[in-house]
Structure 1
Amino acid sequence: MAGLSVDLTIEQVLMRSMKTSGGLTRGRGMAEQQRLIWLLSMPACAEVNNAIQQLTGVNYNTGEQNKGMQNARQARDMKDTHAVISCLKERKPFSSDPSLRSISTWVHATTKVNVDSAKTVGTAILTNMDGQIAADYTFKRKDQAITLALKSAVKIDGESVQVDPQLLFQRLTIAAKATEALESVFKYELCSYPPTLFDSSLLFRQPHKPVLADAIRTLLTKDAPGITGQVHYVLDVGTLVQRIP
C-alpha cells in the first residue's frame, strides 16, 4: 500500500523509456505510426530486457527510498485514517436518510437544493437550447442547479443576508455560556451580522439621531411616570443632549 503513486510510476518508467536510447525522442520521430510501433513493441522489449538481466546477473534493485515505508509516516497515516473513520461513524453519511447534508458542517439542505440532480438539470438546459442560436440564448438563474451554499441566506427587510451556519453556531454556543440557556439563545434569527447596525457591505449604517429624538419625545410626555428598574444613560453631543433633558 506504500508503493509509488501513479504519476511517479509514469514519470520514472514510461517517460524514462521514451527519452533514453531507443525511445521516441531519439530519432524515431513522434508521428502516429512511430508511436504505435513503439507501444506495441514494449511487451517484447520488456521480455528481452528481463532475459538479458537474468543472463548477465545484473538486476535493477532499489533501496528503501520511499518515505511512505518509514514507521513514523505509517503511524501518522494510520492516525489520520482513524480520524476519518471516526468522523464518518459520527456523521453517518451512508445512512438510509435521503436528505442532503454537508459532511463538514452537518447542515441539512432544504427541499429546493437540487445539486444531486445536476445531470438532469444540465440535460434540461441543453434541451431548451435545441433549435436556438447560441449567441441569442440566455442562461436563466432559475434553471441552474441550486447548491447548499446558494441557499445559506435569509431575507431581512427584503434584503438577502448571507449566513455562515457553522460560525453562527459557534458564536451562539459561546454566548449561551450554559446548557440551560441554549434554548433561549437559539430562538433568535440566525444572521452573520446585525442588520440594524450594518449594511450588506459590512459598513456601519448612517445614524438617524433626529428620528430617534422624535420617537423619544412622542413616547415620553411631561406627565409620564419616572423610569423604574435598571437605567442606562446614553451621553451624546448631538441632538439628544441638546433637546432632551
Structure 2
Amino acid sequence: MAITGITEATRAEVARSLTGKRRDIRETLFSLVLLLTLITALAVLIVLLFNVARTSVPLLMHQGGRVLGNDYSALPQNAGIRSGLIGSIYLMIFVILLAVPLGICAAIYMEEYARDTRLARFINTNIRNLAGVPAIVYGIFGFAVFAQLLGSVTGPKVGGLSLLTGGLTISLMVLPIVIITTQEALRSVPTGIREGGFGVGATRWEVIRSHVLPNAAPGILTGSVLAMARALGET
C-alpha cells in the first residue's frame, strides 16, 4: 500500500515537472537563446560576405579576365590563377579515379571479408592514425619518395615535380578518409539485410552488391565528397 502511494506520488511529480509552467518557461528561454545565437552567426556571416563582395566585385569587373586567364608571375600586376585552377582540376580527377575506388574496395574487403584478427585491427588502427596526419607530412613523403623515385625511373617530365607526383601524394593523403567513411557507412547497414540475402541463397558478393552497397551509398558518397574537398583544399 505504501509502495503504491509512493509510486503514484512520484508519477504525479514527474507529470508536473514535464507539463508545468516552469518547464514551459525554460523551454521558451532555451529556444530564444538558440534563435538569438543562430541570428547572430548568420548576421556575422552576411556582413563578412558583403564586405568581401563589395571590395572584390569591382576589381573582378575590371581585371577579372587577367586574374582568371594569366599564369603565375613574379609581377603582381601580371599574376593569375589559371594554371593553379587547371592543376587543381587535374588533381581532383586523379583522386576520383585512384583514391576513391581504391578506398571503397579496401573498406569493403576489411569490413565484409577480412576476419577480426590482430593484423586486421592493427591495420584499422593505423588507417585511423593516418587520417589525422598533417598535410605537410604527406608533402614531405611525396617529395622524398614519389618525386625522387619517379624522377629517377621515368625522368623529370613524368616523375619529379609533376602532376603524377602530386596526384599520388594527394591520393595517399585522402585514402584513409575514404576508407574510414566507407567502413562506417557499411556498418550502418542493418545486419538483417545481410541475413535476409544469405537466407535466400545469395552469395556474399551478391548480398554486398545488391543490398549492402545501395543502402550504404549515401554515406559512401558523403565520405568521397569530404575526401575530394580536402584534396581540393590542399592544392
The answer, yes or no, to whether TM exceeds 0.5 is: no
Higher relative contact order (CA 8 A, sep 6+): 2
> Which structure has the larger Rg over C-alpha atoms?
1
TM-score by length of 2: 0.20
TM-score by length of 1: 0.20
- Which structure dedicates a bigger proportion of its chain to helix? 2
